[in-house]
Structures are given as C-alpha cells and as structure tokens.
C-alpha cells in the first residue's frame, strides 16, 4: 500500500513548485485545484449539478469561476451549497487517483488540508513555508490580486505557524535548490522508515 503524504501551505508559499519537485523525486502527485478545474470544465462532473443549483454559473458549457464569485458575493449561503456539490466529486477524483497510482509515495496537494480535516486521511503531512514578507511579495507580483484580497484569503487559512506546528515535515521554499534538497530528504526519510 502506498504512503499517503499530504502537501499543504498558505498562498504564495511555493506549494505548486514543491509538488513538481515531489513528482521529479518519483512520487505520483494529485492536485486538488487541478481536480476542481477538471470538474468545472466542459463535460466535467460538476457542470450538470452546478447548472441545476446555479444556472447563472454556467458559461459556454463550463462552470465560470468569475460567475461563482459574483453568486457567492450576493448570496451568503451559496458557498456552502457549492461545496456540498463539489467536495464529494473532488473526493471521488482523489480516490480514483489513489486507486490508479503506482508509486510507493502518493502526494496529495491540497491547499486547505488542515481547514477541511484532510490531514486525518494522510500518513504524514508536509507544509511548505517561507517568511511572510517573501510570501506577500510572491503573491502581489503575480498581479492577480490586491493586498486587501490577499488579507481576506489569509484570514480564512490556518496561520502558517500553526500549520508548521501540526506538520510532520516542513519545507522552506526560500530557494529552489534548498527546496529540492528538503524534498529529497523527506522522500528518503519516508522510504527509509517503510523499508526498516
């Protein structure tokens, strides 16, 4: 049975880059955000139930994230209803991945791992982290959100210090080489313990 490693970290911490490093180190990686994109795309499993619940959220045969933002902004109960549709589909996608994956370590890249209790389904959790100043700079340099929007997102996420305290492994993503070294060390540690 494969080892299930949860990968998480707050926005701008370098999670996507770290996920790629795990893939390079020989792990199969499941990405929660990519799963949602698949479900929302034309023909995706979330399109029909979302159309039934929120007809205005469907644009050109797929779920529009922009339309969802507007709906959530106008209806305080919408987010819970959206999550009730999407979360079971994401869980199904994750289970299908785990069934088909073939490596000894499966990495589950889940932004809200602790917030959703997903850490309880993992054998271990790795948190990616960097100091707050670097995090803020990375996010704002993307040019996709304002400082106010970043603050709103951070307010909804478990603080970085708490995530690090709950983690089995912490990877500091200050430089690509340092992150790569740490990923390789985590993989070696897990494989060493499994083979002991």
pLDDT tens, position by position, 123-152:
999 999 999 999 999 999 998 888 888 888
Whether 115 and 168 map to the same domain: the answer is yes
Whether 75 and 137 map to the same domain: the answer is no
| Mean pLDDT value across the chain | 94
- Those residues with Cβ within 8 angstroms of residue 55's Cβ, 6 or more apart along the chain or in another chain: none
Q: Percentage of residues in the chain with pLDDT exceeding 90? A: 83
Q: State how many domains the chain has.
A: 2
| pLDDT(28) > 90 | yes
Whether 120 and 168 map to the same domain: the answer is yes
Residue 157 confidence class, pLDDT cut points 50, 70, 90: confident
Instruction: Answer yes or no: are the C-beta atoms of 107 and 22 closer than 8 Å.
Output: yes
Please say which residue of 60, 77, 102 terminates a domain.
102
- Those residues with Cβ within 8 angstroms of residue 132's Cβ, 6 or more apart along the chain or in another chain: 160
- Alpha-carbon distance 116 to 110, whole Å? 10
The parent domain of residue 151 ranges over 1-27+105-196
- Those residues with Cβ within 8 angstroms of residue 82's Cβ, 6 or more apart along the chain or in another chain: 50, 53, 54, 68, 71, 72
Please say which residue of 47, 71, 102 terminates a domain.
102
Residue 82 confidence class, pLDDT cut points 50, 70, 90: very high
Whether 112 and 81 map to the same domain: the answer is no
CATH code of residue 46? 3.40.50.300
Whether 2 and 78 map to the same domain: the answer is no
Rounded to two decimals, the pTM is 0.90
Whether 123 and 187 map to the same domain: the answer is yes
Please say which residue of 77, 102, 127 terminates a domain.
102
Whether 96 and 162 map to the same domain: the answer is no
- Residue 152 is predicted with a pLDDT of 85
Whether 22 and 114 map to the same domain: the answer is yes
């Amino acid at each position: 049975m494969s080892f299930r490693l949860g990968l998480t970290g707050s926005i701008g911490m370098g999670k996507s880059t770290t996920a790629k490093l795990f893939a390079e180190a020989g792990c199969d990686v499941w990405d929660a955000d990519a799963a949602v994109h698949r479900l929302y795309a034309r023909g995706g499993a979330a399109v029909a139930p979302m159309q039934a619940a929120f007809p205005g959220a469907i644009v050109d045969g797929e779920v529009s994230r922009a339309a969802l933002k507007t709906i959530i902004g106008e209806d305080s109960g919408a987010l819970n209803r959206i999550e009730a549709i999407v979360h079971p589909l994401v869980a199904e996608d994750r289970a299908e991945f785990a069934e088909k994956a073939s490596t000894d370590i499966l990495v589950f890249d889940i932004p809200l791992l602790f917030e959703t209790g997903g850490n309880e389904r993992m054998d271990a959790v790795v948190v990616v982290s960097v100091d707050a100043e670097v995090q803020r700079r990375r996010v704002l340099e993307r040019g996709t959100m304002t400082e106010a929007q970043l603050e709103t997102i951070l307010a909804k996420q478990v603080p970085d210090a708490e995530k690090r305290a709950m983690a089995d492994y912490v990877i500091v993503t200050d430089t690509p080489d340092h992150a790569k070294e740490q990923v390789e060390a985590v993989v070696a540690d897990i494989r060493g313990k499994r083979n002991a």
